[in-house]
A and B are shown apart, each in its own frame.
Chain A
Amino acid sequence: MADMWVTMGPQHPFSHGLWTLKVRVDGEVVKDAIPVIGYLHRGWEKECENRTYPLIIPMADRLCYSASMTWSHVYCKVVEEAMGIELSDRAKYLRVVADEICRLQSHLMWLAAMGTDLGNLTVFLWALREREFFLDLNVKLCGQRLTTNYPRLGGVRNDMPYFFERDCMRAVNRFEKVLWEIIGLTDESSIFLSRMRDVGVISRKDAANYGLTGPTMRGCGVDFDVRRDDPYCNYDLLDWEVPVCKEGDAYARYKVRIEEMFQSCEIIRQAMAKLDSIPKTDPIRVKAPRNVPAGTHFARVEDPRGESLMYLVSDGTDRPYRLKVRSPIFVNVSASKHLVQGVRIADIPAIMGTIDMCLGETDR
């Protein structure tokens, strides 16, 4: 049969967002792939140039709506670096807890989507049920489930309420037990293993050359994590591990994310213990100046999907001159051609599911 181009088009059950993957197929074997993105371009960076600095924080939340805390964190980090503000310990640990809750709920959303891609609808519902507990934690902390608008220039919005530690520990303890149950549904099933193993392999060198970040890269053997190697917010004072897998197939990326979930639980526990020891009178928010001194700055943070980076060019007024966003998925999706070489069409959802596309940050 001759080669034909199949458009796994913008409206597609597996795509988690609006993007196209054109695959060139010979029978059922994939020869080539072209990703087409840009359907969700909202002109975010241009809109930022019209708004003052505090007003951009809720907009940064909406860059990637399922990992909103880390995006507003990276924005606040870059502006604080431009202003030269140092955060207090309490604000740092609060940001750490918020970031890790965000990571947990984003990975659970990924797990749910991964389940539907493979036809496993039970994992979808179980993972979303667990995610609800973390969204409720977000509500208790700052009032909203997903687009939290919690970090502020100079700290965080408010201190955690008095019952937050109890609820947080309850959620984390329960989640660790339930995650083993969910693993029993995916990992211990031969069908899942045979679908994910040795599929979408990318070597360590290629991963580094393409510029992949995050769990996609750590599943290929490159040992780099912004939280450990370029630490911010006292991550170097907490005791946790960075999971790395050598194989580079879809199963390795899956394993890295599951282990990251367990490590996030650990980080939350330790950060809560540290917050206990810091007195409540420690400042959580410092008043930030209106105008930012002129200069160029960048800051990066470990997003659930990789390394997110913001580059700020400020000119001394109260609006940014240029705010550039470097999203991890934008880079990861460029490697899709390499990832889908030689597999069957039925493997494509499994592979693209492990990249964890979130179109909001790709298209901005």
Chain B
Amino acid sequence: MAYNSILDWVKFTDPMTSSGYPYGDVYNLPYDIGYKIWELISGLIAWLIDLIVPGNEVSTFLTETPLLTNLLSITLMVVVIFAVGFIVNLTMIWEERKVLGRMMDRRATRVGPLGYFQNLADGLKTFLKENITPSSADKKGYMWALTILIGTSVLLAFMIPLSGRWFIVDYRTGLLILFGLFAIAPFMILVAGWSQNNKYTLLGGMRAAAQMISYEVPMLIIFASVALMAGSLNINDIVNAQHEYMWYIIPQFLGFIVFIIAAIAEAERIPFDLPEAEAELVEGWQTEYSGMK
């Protein structure tokens, strides 16, 4: 019997040539990574099954069907992008905590080498806490507000391309969709704060809604002016237009400064942390969300 080596099954073909490649003629790096990971997994499983039962159909199904390949590559691509975003976020938080600690004349974050795993430890601790729902809270609003809020934020994060070949979707009207998703956030925060049946969260939610709505207006004006200069709402086109002209920060430096301030206010970071003012409102509109919620 001929010995079928694994290389028969794991064929690293060019993803752009497979049928069902969703991005046309633009090379997409995370899709490529997901494609290769799926090929590895499927090839391994197919080779193992082929060793036991040579010439079966499951192996060919796993490796040859373009629909399955496509679907799972996209899934893995999303996982890759999420993982990269997650690790970058962790690194930024770690760096901020370390620097803040040194400013206060103390050593910060001690878990792991140079304290890198402190955020993972904190996340693990939060996972292990109990999810308490207040009995007199409005259940639907309580749960759905958070879900929609986090969901739209993640959608927003996925819509922004990090380079010419690192993106998930590339809509022609990408910026417009961003506008829409931004607008949901303050409303959901208000619902979250209100549904917890707690005067503090109500105050926090109202403050947060007021702040976020008011700081959205300058932000969206800046978006509009950038889109005007580039002539398109597609984010990739805006980037390319800056290649030809010059970085838009130079003619629009005022817009840049305003955008930075508005973005800090949207994220409720210090000094705009009135909704989450720890001194008087404990956690603001997040007071009753314990545990992983």
- Tell whether any CB of A sits under 8 Å from a CB of B in the complex: yes
Main secondary structure of the interface of A (DSSP, over half): helix
Set A8, A121, A191: member contacting B280, Cβ < 8 A: A8
Chain A, 114-125, contact with B by CB distance < 8 Å: what is the 0/1 string? Answer: 001111011011
Chain B, 100-143, contact with A by CB distance < 8 Å: what is the 0/1 string? Answer: 00011110000000000000000000000000000000000000
For the complex formed, measure the closest distance between the CB of A272 and the CB atoms of chain B, giving whole angstroms. Answer: 28
Chain A, 321-357, contact with B by CB distance < 8 Å: what is the 0/1 string? Answer: 0000000000000000000000001101100000000
Is A28's beta carbon under 8 Å from chain B?
yes
With A and B bound together, what is the CA distance between A147 and B89 in angstroms?
Answer: 45
- Contact check, B105 vs A125: say whether CB atoms are below 8 A apart: yes
- Contact check, A13 vs B105: say whether CB atoms are below 8 A apart: no
Residue of B nearest to A348 (CB): B280
Stretch at the interface among B43-51, B66-74, B271-279: B271-279
Residue of B nearest to A14 (CB): B279
- Contact check, B282 vs A13: say whether CB atoms are below 8 A apart: yes
Q: Which A residues from 114 to 142 make CB contacts under 8 A with B?
A: 116-119, 121-122, 124-126, 129
Chain B: how many interface residues by the 8 Å CB criterion?
Answer: 17
- Contact check, A119 vs B279: say whether CB atoms are below 8 A apart: yes
For the complex formed, measure the closest distance between the CB of A177 and the CB atoms of chain B, giving whole angstroms. Answer: 15
- Contact check, A125 vs B104: say whether CB atoms are below 8 A apart: yes
Please give, as numbers and ranges, the residues of chain B lying within 8 Å of A8 by CB-CB distance.
280
Chain B, 259-271, contact with A by CB distance < 8 Å: what is the 0/1 string? Answer: 0000000000011
With A and B bound together, what is the CA distance between A40 and B277 in angstroms?
Answer: 27
With A and B bound together, what is the CA distance between A329 and B280 in angstroms?
Answer: 21
- Contact check, A346 vs B274: say whether CB atoms are below 8 A apart: yes
Set A4, A118, A346: member contacting B199, Cβ < 8 A: A4
For the complex formed, measure the closest distance between the CB of B206 and the CB atoms of chain A, giving whole angstroms. Answer: 9
- Contact check, A346 vs B103: say whether CB atoms are below 8 A apart: no
Is B200's beta carbon under 8 Å from chain A?
yes
- Contact check, A349 vs B199: say whether CB atoms are below 8 A apart: no
Chain B, 155-198, contact with A by CB distance < 8 Å: what is the 0/1 string? Answer: 00000000000000000000000000000000000000000000
For the complex formed, measure the closest distance between the CB of B96 and the CB atoms of chain A, giving whole angstroms. Answer: 13
- Contact check, A13 vs B278: say whether CB atoms are below 8 A apart: yes
With A and B bound together, what is the CA distance between A334 and B281 in angstroms?
Answer: 23
Set B103, B200, B280: member contacting A122, Cβ < 8 A: B103
For the complex formed, measure the closest distance between the CB of A342 and the CB atoms of chain B, giving whole angstroms. Answer: 17
- Contact check, A116 vs B279: say whether CB atoms are below 8 A apart: yes
Is A12's beta carbon under 8 Å from chain B?
yes
Please give, as numbers and ranges, the residues of chain A lying within 8 Å of B78 by CB-CB distance.
none
With A and B bound together, what is the CA distance between A8 and B278 in angstroms?
Answer: 13
- Contact check, A122 vs B104: say whether CB atoms are below 8 A apart: yes
With A and B bound together, what is the CA distance between A4 and B199 in angstroms?
Answer: 9
Is B203's beta carbon under 8 Å from chain A?
yes
- Contact check, B270 vs A119: say whether CB atoms are below 8 A apart: yes
- Contact check, B279 vs A13: say whether CB atoms are below 8 A apart: yes
Q: A6-B199, A119-B273, A191-B271 are in contact. Are A345 and B105 (CB under 8 A)?
A: no
With A and B bound together, what is the CA distance between A4 and B203 in angstroms?
Answer: 11
- Contact check, B279 vs A117: say whether CB atoms are below 8 A apart: yes
- Contact check, A346 vs B104: say whether CB atoms are below 8 A apart: no
Residue of B nearest to A350 (CB): B279
Please give, as numbers and ranges, the residues of chain A lying within 8 Å of B279 by CB-CB distance.
13-14, 116-119, 349
Residue of A nearest to B274 (CB): A346
Set B104, B106, B280: member contacting A345, Cβ < 8 A: B280
Residue of B nearest to A28 (CB): B203
For the complex formed, measure the closest distance between the CB of B200 and the CB atoms of chain A, giving whole angstroms. Answer: 7
- Contact check, B200 vs A6: say whether CB atoms are below 8 A apart: yes
With A and B bound together, what is the CA distance between A124 and B278 in angstroms?
Answer: 14
Residue of B nearest to A124 (CB): B104
Would you list the 8 A-B pairs with minimal beta carbon distance, nearest first?
A125-B104, A349-B279, A117-B279, A122-B104, A6-B199, A14-B279, A349-B280, A13-B279
Beyond A28-B203, A191-B271, 12 additional pairs, beta carbon < 8 A: A8-B280, A13-B278, A13-B279, A117-B279, A118-B279, A119-B273, A119-B277, A122-B103, A124-B104, A126-B104, A345-B280, A348-B280
Taking Cβ atoms with an 8 Å cutoff, the residues of B that contact A are: 103-106, 199-200, 203, 270-271, 273-274, 277-282
22 A/B residue pairs, CB under 8 Å, sorted by A: A4-B199, A6-B200, A13-B279, A13-B280, A13-B282, A14-B279, A14-B280, A117-B279, A118-B279, A119-B273, A122-B104, A124-B104, A125-B105, A126-B104, A191-B271, A345-B280, A345-B281, A346-B277, A346-B280, A348-B280, A349-B279, A349-B280
